[in-house]
Structure 1
Amino acid sequence: MSLFSRLKESLNKTRDNFTRRVGILLNASSRLDDDFFDELEEILVTADVGANTSMELVERIRREVKNRRITEPTAVGELLCEEVTKILGEEVPRLAWSPAPPTVYLVVGVNGAGKTTTIGKLAYRFKQEGKRVILAAADTFRAAAGEQLDVWAGRAGAELIRHQAGADPGAVVYDALQAARNRRADVVLVDTAGRLQTKVNLMDELKKIRRVIERELPGAPHEVLLVLDATTGQNALSQARLFSEAVGVTGIVLTKLDGTAKGGVVLAIAAEMGIPVKLVGLGEGLDDLKEFQPREFAAALFSGLAGVKEE
């Protein structure tokens, strides 16, 4: 199955909540007046695109309708797809790589977002590409985290560096980087805690982990990947702000996109945070973590609207 087909399938719930309602609006409207644009904005807001992004998107469409002298509401579907693609970015955002190994990815996010699973799938992907991968179990707070990562290491064929529960996460990361040097590993994936109920302590811990990485390997981490659960909608945006302020997030991994009607949050993250979505989770399988393709995402999201070309 092509990526477009997978995206289209995964976005079924979001399309039911969002695109179907847009289609009804386009077909039921006789003119492009203030009532039309107000209703379009309301649909966007309720699809978790967010108030600010929805307002900006509708204003863009208003301008283009005027500039292109569009009079038919059904023509707005293609225009909406174009403007969403511009917000998401025209280019496919790739993961950064170090010119000399190891490349270090610091992976952050709240508990339950799919952080450890994402690390396991990334490890599997890199192993399939012939790379030597080390996982650092730096979530020493949650007793089951190390065991969970151990299972993923086994499935992916990666090596695991872990300490006992309650150990210093910085020490785990230090040992993982030393092991990466000694074993000539290509990639180090660092798992971290995500207990937001002790927000200040967590952010201080993440900052410390980042300092250890920077000290031991200048130029690293090469990516700080924030794992967000798409089903949380606008809460994902507040998490993005929080983690970005603490550790400088460089890319988003959006999980559970196949199980939510709130896929519109992708637009809010791109527009309001300026952080690229780099990977999306489209299922439970080892190979269900895919590079984010903005054009294909927009085409899949608006599939079925008049004028929108399917990839």
Structure 2
Amino acid sequence: MVLDKEEQRCGVDIVVVLDLGGFIHGKKLKKLKTWTNFFVKKLSPIDRLSIVTFSKNAGRLCPLTRMNEYGKDNVELLINKLKGDGYTNITAGLQTALNILAQRRQKAGRTSAVLLMSDGKLTNGCDHPSTVDVSDVPVYTIGLGNDHDSQLLQDIATRSYKGTYSIADMEEWNLNIAFSSCQEGLLNVFVQDLQLTITQLGSDIQDVRAGNYNQTRDNESVTISFGNVYNYEKFRTTVFLSLPAVKEQTAIDILKVALSYRYVPSILLPLFYCKQFESIVQNALSNCYCLQANRWAGFVN
């Protein structure tokens, strides 16, 4: 069975947040429309898109709309009618986008994200975007032109969940480069809610290092929550153990490793596809820890 690319990933609900502030006019506004239409064409019928615009205030241009041909045509008409204004209130735009995602009724088996395109030049008197909690959703920020506020847009992406920051140069306007980093995250979610639980057996877990991913612990185990996993994404986890003393080289069970994840695509994948993913991870972990157990046991006095 051969699967289409759209069948190999979760559907995404994305809110595109567009800056229509005072600095977005003329050539910048034209480029902004071109870029947004370019992005819309990349989406599949399993995806849904909503557009939020902001200047002094923010407003929803359209609700989450399925990206079939009819949906894309309607969204393109709305994009081409956009006009600039005199203020830049990024905070209002972000908060409106988060509200749209929070109010979804259909969430099962779907991922969500925000794509923010702005020059990042705040209007005096507007609340700073740092007041908006974006830690639970990926926010992909794209700075428009070489004169945008890179620090502000990079901060928003960094504070979000696996978001990225990139630049769209207004002169060269290389769409593929600006789009590639956010496309990798948005359209390639392989599994959701990946958790790795490591339980001590004939050992004592001293520490587990897995980057900045959240960890929960009890007396005998540590669970690491990796969240959504993108195609070809890799994780590295290091476990520090205290082993019992032995007088001769021996093989012992030191850890139990359990993997859990959720994958509910709009078109159900064959069971072997998910099982193959689990088997690869389990085998890699099991082989690693068995080798380490033999090596350590030979040097413990």
TM-score (norm 1): 0.33
Higher relative contact order (CA 8 A, sep 6+): 1
Q: Which has the larger radius of gyration?
A: 2
TM-score (norm 2): 0.34
Greater helix proportion: 1
